[in-house]
Structure 1
Amino acid sequence: MKNTKLYILSFFFCVNVFIWYGVFVEERNFVTVAFLDVGQGDAIFIESLDGKQILIDGGANSQVLQQLAKVMPFYDRSIDMVILTHPDQDHIGGLPAVLESYTVDFVMESGVGSDNGTYEEFENIIQKKQIQKITAQQGQKIFLCNLREVRLPEEPHGCESYLEVLFPVGDLDISEFEPNTASVVLKLTHGENSFLFTGDSPRSIEKYLVESLGDYIDVDVLKLGHHGSKTSTSDLFLGFTSPEYTIASVGENNSYGHPHQEILDLLRQFEIPLLRTDKEGTIIFKSDGRSLLLE
């Protein structure tokens, strides 16, 4: 009788797993981009049509695990790629916990390190778990339909969903750059929709992107650099990116005054909506390649 009950319970558990798996797979008619509410910090979760997942930054602490649990099925204990834009605490703080809690295949970094303890812990876990590490350089394309490799192609090989590195530039020595200045800048493209993730890039890097890439940085959604600090998001940059939405990943009543009033005024002048994680919580977009749905 005891074995019979165990078999019945196991059967119903398996049925539930398959049902929930079916629910999540059925919902993957979209590429999902979630700006996670991790307080004063950045953490962005991306999921492709076939369930490939990328996490850009991890906030200041392990709070990112709670937020990931809200956007990933409970049985999913793997993330294909983690990208660290730069090693400031409010971007790297939660990543050691992520690497310990999930199986991660790839880690991408800017190439500029830090002497803080969290960065050392992060690197030690990468080495211990033998995670493949990639140094970001302009032109790399991470195809969401094949995350087995990172290529430097001229064409996306028929895959209309890819993440492209816009900065750092491969032949530029950034070893002496401030971490913010060396932030990895990424553009996500899915069909006709696009997102720009800028880390904490200052206006000098924005100017470089405008001068070198021009209209290529015209996107639907722009994550404001440095949480809406006045050191980022110039009127020139905002004009070239011309987003439908901007995102400020900030903590409630943060001591930095982010997003700065100067940036709020600029967005109002350009008539561009601002979504803030301190007011909205986690902000989720879904793209079918033609239009964006804001959940």
Structure 2
Amino acid sequence: MSVIKSFAVGSGDMFYIKHNSANFTIIDCDLCEGNADQIIKELKEQSAGKEITRFICTHPDEDHFGGIERLDDAMPIVNFYVVKNQAVKDEDTVSFQRYCQLRDDPKKAFYIYKGCKRRWMNLEGDGRSSSGIQVLWPDTSNAHFKEALAACEAGEHFNNTSAVVRYSLNGGASFLWLGDLETEFMENIVDHIQLDKTTVVFAAHHGRATGKIPNSWLEKLDPQIIVIGEAPKRHLHYYTGYQTITQNTAGNITFDLVGDRVHIYADNKNGCPDNLTDEGQTKFDGYVGSITVETEYTL
């Protein structure tokens, strides 16, 4: 059993994975005075007893590392997973300063790239199983990525340096994070990234049309659910023909992974599919319904 939560944090992204192992993973953050205490309290509760914790930052944009100093002060980050970069910003915020400290710390930073291996991320060791996380992108030798990285390090554009991260539960569901990759960039790299059938995909760029997942990707991913983020509704792409959860209506979303089932909970059933199976689950508040995982590849 694993639990994945997507926090409703407004314009940003923040997730955690409570693995069915000794691992606990946080992906991105966007903390502020209004939400930090409550979210950090939950992270401490959910990570209690886990021996390995990691923070994955998909790319250096404020809405993906906002308030990281609050998190780091309350729950010191000792494993900081990041795409190697030397991003610069016009505004040198406290959050960006802390991001840079973590990014450049040789004892804390682990630079992620396509196919990278690390104990307990995707390798077993010392009697502990892996977390089931794979990094599908970036390919640091790819010309499109090199161009995106140059723009990032010139302080011009950051989205297309995003990592693509996949989590799979052995024998169960899989999830995919795309950061803020943009549609044209995804189209350019489709032949350079391994895309397998995935249960739940978090739409790129908070669900904006600018991050619309192209059909060339969707045909390979064949997702059962696409989670559309909290961008303003006028900017969203709604993925007609797919089951979707729209987070700016649904609020916080929790996925409870049990065998070949995914039990879904949300603050508000509006914005969630209305044809999910009702299995009467009560583990968390706000049960919406369940899905059975379709055949897919797993670690």
Distance 1:125 1:196 in 2: 24
Deviations 1:102-128 (A, max 9, x none): 022200112232323232233236778
Deviation at 1:290, TM superposition (A): 2.2
Match of 2:276 in 1: none
List runs of 5+ in structure 2 lacking aligned partners: 152-156, 266-299
In structure 2, the CA distance between the partners of 1:33 and 1:131, relative to structure 1 (3 Å rule), is: farther
Q: Secondary structure at the match of 1:50?
A: coil
Say whether residues 1:176 and 2:156 are aligned partners: no
What residue is the counterpart of 2:269 in the other structure?
A: none
Letter of the aligned partner of 2:38 in structure 1? Q
Q: Residue 20 of structure 2: which of 49, 71, 74 is its match? A: 49
Distance of 2:47 and 2:256 partners within structure 1: 22
- After superposition, what is the alpha-carbon deviation per residue over 1:149-174, rounded to whole angstroms, capped at 9, x for unaligned? x76x9xxx995741111111133435
Shift of 1:219: 0.4
CA deviation after TM superposition for structure 1 residue 132, in Å: 1.1
**Coordinate RMSD, CA, aligned:** 3.0
Q: Which runs of no fewer than 5 residues in structure 1 stay unpaired?
A: 1-29
C-alpha distance in 2, partners of 1:65/1:285? Answer: 22
Instruction: Count residues with an aligned counterpart.
Output: 246
Matched, 1:291 2:271: no
The partner residue of 1:222 within 186, 201, 210 is 201
1:190 alignment partner in structure 2: 169
Q: Which moved more, 1:276-285 or 1:191-200?
A: 276-285
Structure 1 stretch 116-125 or stretch 216-225: which is displaced more?
Answer: 116-125
Instruction: Give 1:77 shift.
Output: 9.9
Per the alignment, residue 73 of structure 1 pairs with 45
Partner of 1:25: none
Distance 2:108 2:128 in 1: 25
Report the Cα distance in structure 2 between the residues aligned to 1:188 and 1:75, rounded to whole angstroms. 17
1:222 is displaced (CA, Å) by 0.4
Please report how far the alpha carbon of residue 273 of structure 1 lies from its aligned counterpart in structure 2 after TM superposition.
Answer: 1.9
C-alpha distance in 2 between matches for 1:186 and 1:131: 22
Alignment partner of 1:121 out of 98, 111, 114: 98
- Indicate if the aligned counterparts of 1:77 and 1:102 stay in contact, CA closer than 8 A: no
Q: Which has the higher helix share?
A: 1
Q: 1:114 to 1:85 in 2, by over 3 A?
A: farther
Residue of structure 2 in register with 1:4 after alignment: none
State the distance in 2 between where 1:283 and 1:238 align: 22
* Contact preservation (8 Å) 1:246, 1:273: yes
- Provide TM-score, normalisation by structure 1: 0.72
The equivalent residue for 2:29 is: 58
Does 1:87 find its partner at 2:60?
yes
**What residue number does 1:235 align with?**
215
Aligned to 2:247: 277
Q: Does 1:167 align with 2:137?
A: yes
| Native 8 Å contact 1:162 1:188 kept in 2 | yes
Q: CA deviation at 1:175?
A: 3.1
Partners of 1:93 and 1:213 lie apart in 2 by 29
Identity percentage of aligned residues: 18
- Which of these two proteins has the greater Rg computed from alpha carbons? 1
Displacement of 1:186: 0.3
Q: Deviations over 1:181-224 (max 9, x none)?
A: 0001101111132111000011234225532345x332000000
Q: Which residue in 1 is equivalent to 2:11?
A: 40
Alpha-carbon distance, 1:280 to partner: 1.6
Q: Which residue of 2 aligns with 1:204?
A: 184
Q: Normalization by structure 2: what TM-score?
A: 0.72
- Structure-2 change in CA distance of 1:88 and 1:160 (3 Å): closer
Mapped contact 1:99–1:125 kept (Cα < 8 A): no
CA distance 1:124–1:33, change in 2 (3 Å): same
Report the residue type matching 1:132 in the other structure. Answer: K
Deviation at residue 49 of structure 1 after TM alignment = 1.5
2:228 pairs with one of 241, 245, 248 = 248
Relative distance call for 1:140 and 1:127 in structure 2 (3 A) is closer
Q: Structure 1: which amino acid aligns with 2:204?
A: G
Check the 8 A contact 1:77/1:101 in 2, yes or no. Answer: no
Instruction: Check conservation: 1:137, 1:170, Cα contact below 8 A.
Output: yes
**Alpha carbons of 1:75 and 1:33: their partners in 2 closer, same or farther (altered >3 Å)?**
closer
